[in-house]
Structure 1
């Protein structure tokens, strides 16, 4: 009977540990992670590379990280990111958050949103809007090249929309007859219209690793067909205690 109650007590203690909220990690210069990055585009596009991420400097609300592709002769890219690993960039003349996988402290059921609209992001679209809601799902076991981990899973459901820019395309060709060469052309006008699709993201955060050990981002077109998937899986790490 004593053994049984000890077992129950240990089980309850473990459950309490896994249920607690997780504070922001103590990131330090020199912390390093190596990921296997896989990119899938369309029905056949596929590529894979190893990428090393190293913390160079930690400030009050941001940090400088260097990103280097293993095997490349190019110098690493240095980038400012938030201490919660959020990314910001210029949107219509203002720095806005475009990706925020973590908001500390993390606890099951916590939610937050990431939303922005960008004018004239490219030649094809006059505007693009991305909107997603992230939710801390809870603890889950995950397997990656670095090993097996007990991770706090965060999922994001969202959608994107874009206004297609008006355009005129011309198709020209020549036709030769008995009287000589005649040039023919045909123009096609693309009128402004709005198109939309869905997106899904998931992150598996491990406190001891100070970062997520796996991340997946998927984008779907207006017909619900997956157009791209980006996957990061931890291969190795060197983090301070």
Structure 2
């Protein structure tokens, strides 16, 4: 091999490395979502029930039925279901807005376009009366764009930008009022009434950790893989959901 050949090959390799590095350094812009874009995912749910992890897997399909400048309508349903799909309104950057304490509030923001490795953002929500027993529920998530990875899923191998979110949930409870229960029991000397009373009390607040990971592919306009984990107050995994892309068709 001549010196000229060695130099030529070194130049080609260097050019490829520079091009690859430039590609991965570029910002990922918000996708242009279009009516008819569709995806199919395999969704596995591992859930802790009575200290036993139970798993289930189901395939889901989703498609955009209306694409606007700011919002989209996403229709989704299990592949094996004969029921019509459920349609939901999402923002065009895949964030979710819903009514929270009487105001429209962004409650989910997996992506913050434009994105590139190192970018961070924070999402914090506080909901009053999330259920009959709770007074407030607060969720805090800190997002970080980790970097590019090659991700293998059933639909193939994709160059994807990994985003991680770490955070916690906190719940405070309403005060439970005083109560009294009575019961009548028969005795040899006659009927006996037993009354049990409970003073008003407020259950202590509880909290737990949250983990989210998204692998976003510009090629398919959304994540090729997603992992969510919710932990109890003592650190035990209560639920894990793993979604992997099975197929897609985008314009």
Compute the TM-score of the two structures, normalised by the length of structure 1.
0.91
Of the candidates 35, 38, 47, which is equivalent to residue 44 of structure 2? 38
Gap runs ≥5 in structure 2: 1-6
d(CA) in 2 for partners of 1:35 and 1:173? 55
Match of 1:2 in 2: 8
Match of 1:193 in 2: 204
Match of 2:245 in 1: 234
Match of 1:178 in 2: 188
Gap runs ≥5 in structure 1: none
Match of 1:212 in 2: 223
Structure 1 stretch displaced more, 90-99 or 173-182: 173-182
3-state DSSP of counterpart to 2:219: helix
Structure 1 stretch displaced more, 96-105 or 162-171: 162-171
Q: Give 1 or 2 for the bigger CA radius of gyration.
A: 2
Matched, 1:66 2:72: no
Q: CA RMSD in A?
A: 2.0
Of the candidates 128, 131, 135, which is equivalent to residue 140 of structure 2? 131
Structure 1 stretch displaced more, 79-88 or 65-74: 65-74
d(CA) in 2 for partners of 1:40 and 1:174? 46
Post-superposition CA distance 1:197-227 (Å, at most 9, x none): 1101010001101110111111111111111
Matched, 1:119 2:128: yes
**1:5, distance to aligned residue in structure 2 (A):** 2.1
Of the candidates 81, 86, 109, which is equivalent to residue 100 of structure 1? 109
Match of 2:4 in 1: none
3-state DSSP of counterpart to 1:166: coil
3-state DSSP of counterpart to 1:44: strand
Compute the TM-score of the two structures, normalised by the length of structure 2.
0.88
Report the CA distance shift for 1:128/1:179 in structure 2 as closer, same or farther (over 3 A): same
